[in-house]
Amino acid sequence: MAMNIKEMLQNLGIQNSNPSYSTGNIWGDTHGSQIDSFSPVDGQKIASVAAASDEDYKTVLQQAVAAAAYWKAVPAPRRGDIVRQFGDALRKHKTDLGTLVSYEMGKSLQEGLGEVQEMIDICDFAVGQSRQLYGLTMHSERPSHRMYEQWHPLGIVGIISAFNFPVAVWSWNTALALVCGNVCIWKPSSKTPLCAIACQHILAAVLKANELPEGISSLLIGNAIGDKMNNDPRINLISFTGSTRVGRIVSTAVASRFGKSILELGGNNAIIISKDADLDMSVIGAVFGAVGTAGQRCTSTRRLIIHEDIYDTFRERLVAAYEQLRIGNPLDENHHVGPLIDKDAVESYLKAIEKAKQEGASFLVEGGLLEGDSYTSGCYVKPCVAEVENHFSIVQEETFAPILYLIKYKTLDEAITLQNAVPQGLSSAIMTLNLREAEQFLSAAGSDCGIANVNIGTSGAEIGGAFGGEKETGGGRESGSDAWKGYMRRQTNTINYSNTLPLAQGIKFNI
């Protein structure tokens, strides 16, 4: 594997053991500290990355400010063409980049390749969007006046992303921000720096080929970078993906300087399994939602709220499905579940299991750490299932691991109340063939989440829809629909083409 990984890194432009951060199109040494990237797949050190220093940060911001002045004047369709070229470059590097995502983060190879496909898809979406940055026209109450609104770039967009989707979430933000006329500065998770370097290298090559300024897209790696970005008034928008705890810090810092933020925070997602559900579909949706990416998605299924009439039957089928799961090297497509990101995540998983037992949970499928020659990294755990009450404090929390909680209900009103009775509000789903149940779930009196699905699980959102959630999930929206508006500022314009100056609301001002 070592030779294959080395070749893969070289194909992505990472050709030495100490790849550094990028300022736009320039790759060079820095004076910052060193960050080591270890694979949770086998525990091996992949490479060391130079973290950005204070001087590096200063340089990047200076370049971004200069680039922003240039980029906002470039016609939006031309900006879209650059994003199109980036999407084409991703197509060429899909296999290598998807493999790197799988190896550095630990998700299955299929999911790694799927994440790169999401990047390609959002580029395609953004290219079309570059010709559709529409404003509205309004009728003025004053004669011979015309009113309309238009959208302008914000300037500099800061993107702070998490380890679990080390490339896709950045692309959601970057593709839209670029076509909207902004420049981007990316602070990735220090747990997956090589994925970020590879992406930046691919985009930097496109920018260089088009003779565009440095600083249109920049990368800063390091644990201290986020605080600098959050408090920097030159960065007009911070898009943050991560925990609710850190999101509060980000939100407070950015708001204190009247900056804008897009917050994509925690999820505690439930699927309601109706007595009128297709049980075959429901089992598939529940299992994938709970164990995909080893439960490390913000949209992972954490809770199953199951009707009492089918509870025993569904529980039996679910346990049987869990017994068939194959856990191991995610680069092997025969495995369903890979490792957690690191040993800290394992510790959090084990503590959650212990806390659930202390609160009265009954485990149908026991969890635990996997050991042996196939699990040398110490990051492989068993997906587990427990019967609980929704009010348990551990159930109210988001544990980034494959722990699934089962809860019984009698009526749909009760199920919806249970679904909504957590602090988070990201994704939700109901499995039912009953049209009335589906419509009630989607109504204003139904799910309080930003995403509500019928007969599909809680994970696997498409880029065409706006992605995000309510309550402690932060209220941000990324990706499709009109999420592009979050990266622009609205301006209302009134044009008087008469030879007088009538005032609004019929006011008279004679001088």
Cα–Cα distance between 22 and 324 in angstroms, integer?
44
The label of the residue with tokens 């060429």 reads: 92
Closest CA to 213 of 81, 82, 66, 75: 66
Half-sphere exposure of 489 (CA within 13 A, CB side): 14
Q: From the candidates 111, 115, 264, 472, which is the catalytic residue? A: 264
The label of the residue with tokens 């991703």 reads: 90
Cα–Cα distance between 458 and 221 in angstroms, integer?
31
Cα–Cα distance between 479 and 126 in angstroms, integer?
9
User: What amino acid occupies position 213?
Assistant: P
264 assigned to active site: yes
Cα dist from 125 to 74, 202, 464, whole Å: 19, 19, 8
The beta strands (E) that lie in 188-327 are given as 217-219, 237-241, 260-264, 269-273, 301-307
Cα dist from 464 to 111, 124, 176, 461, 479, whole Å: 19, 10, 12, 9, 7
Asked if residues 221 and 196 have their Cβ atoms less than 8 Å apart, the reply is yes
In the chain the first and final C-alpha atoms are separated, in Å, by 84
By three-state DSSP, how is residue 269 classified? strand
Supply the residues annotated as catalytic.
264
